[in-house]
Structure 1
């Protein structure tokens, strides 16, 4: 099965994966990740076109699309989800959602240098001096979340992801420890796709493509202008 994975919860990333058998094992054929967090609309579509061309695959050959549904900022998530839905419609393939934090949890649970021995937390930057976070079992299975809050609200224990690197001192004050090797880790489509395939192999359902914003947008609809009185 060929799977196109997309995530724009932080940086823009895309990956083409091929599953092997029914055990959830996956090979990453091609992948892309931007270096910026504000160029999603410009780079995502050309990147997807590029990785398909490099793999010698047409859109009609893709069997499934999975997309990160956050949590993340409004604009970034819209770009990824809209792209996934559009391609799914054009190619006639199913589109499913995956929590973006699951990608970092997958990386942590698969870390050859030492996977977590107990429950752990994944945290990414939510701006406003807050974190998006969720709690996971040692195998990467979701236990609680996602949430958005100040660093001081996170549970004690190891914390993986860029959010941990940003607020290591504040986390330490409440007994949470930033895992140094993952202090800059962002969700990536390749890991998102791998976690989705593993979940499907276990007979578990994926999410709908509804974005997980967790809080209201900064953008506000302006109040209607009051009619001006007639001049005397």
Structure 2
């Protein structure tokens, strides 16, 4: 099965074509880009060309549903849904933190990514099972089990984690196309794609302003 894999939950733009029969993955990742909207489709096209396949050869799409910022998730999930609809193939949504956790061989782990506003999106795992989260919180406010063996966290946030994690091994990982596919149930009928925003977008509707009594009421 050939699977197109997409994730835009982090500053990295992650795309790739994964062959589930051979385990081969042709990845095209743009680290630290904020131009997900402009770069996603051209990067997917490059990945397909490098894998020597076309859109018509794909059997499914897997997309990371966050948690992540509103704009980033919307770009990735809307594109995945559009590809799936145009090709008539299933689109499977997965938790992006699960895909990162899959890359860590240790048994107990904390996975965190930058949520901005001095906060992180996070979840904890035992083996392949998520034991808490996903949630959003200031890194210093986390209440964690005492047996965490490894942490995946952006380097600039590592020192802000609770003191109990000071001596725990730390890595800075993002989802990969293969890890996204690994945590997807490709045999199941996919449900609707549900983004894990975890908090409201920065943009807010302006509050309504009461009509001034000085403005005459006009009857129509």
Fold in common (TM above 0.5)? yes
Contact 1:168–1:178 (Cα < 8 Å) also in 2: no
Question: C-alpha separation between the residues in 1 aligned to 2:165 and 2:188?
Answer: 33
Question: How has the CA–CA distance of structure 1 residues 172 and 224 changed in structure 2, closer, same or farther, with 3 Å as cutoff?
Answer: closer
Contact 1:159–1:176 (Cα < 8 Å) also in 2: no
Residue-pair matches, total: 211
Any runs of at least 4 consecutive aligned residues in structure 1 with deviations exceeding 6 A, and if so which? 203-207
Partner-residue secondary structure (3-state), 1:96: strand
Q: Aligned runs of 1:148-227 on 2, under 5 Å?
A: 148-151=136-139, 152-155=141-144, 156=146, 157-163=148-154, 165-175=155-165, 177-180=167-170, 182=171, 184-196=172-184, 199-200=185-186, 208-224=192-208
Name the one with the larger helix percent: 1
Q: Quote the offset at 1:95 in angstroms.
A: 0.5
Unaligned runs of 5+ in 2: none
Unaligned runs of 5+ in 1: 110-115
Q: Quote the offset at 1:168 in angstroms.
A: 2.6
Q: Which residue of 1 aligns with 2:23?
A: 26
Q: Normalising by the residue count of structure 2, what TM-score does the alignment of the two structures yield?
A: 0.85
Q: Aligned runs of 1:94-173 on 2, under 5 Å?
A: 94-109=90-105, 116=106, 118-138=107-127, 140-151=128-139, 152-155=141-144, 156=146, 157-163=148-154, 165-173=155-163
- 57-66 vs 153-162, which moves further: 153-162
Q: CA deviation digits over 1:153-181, x for unaligned, max 9?
A: 14142343234x3333332414465533x
Q: Quote the offset at 1:210 in angstroms.
A: 0.6
Contact 2:142–2:162 (Cα < 8 Å) also in 1: no
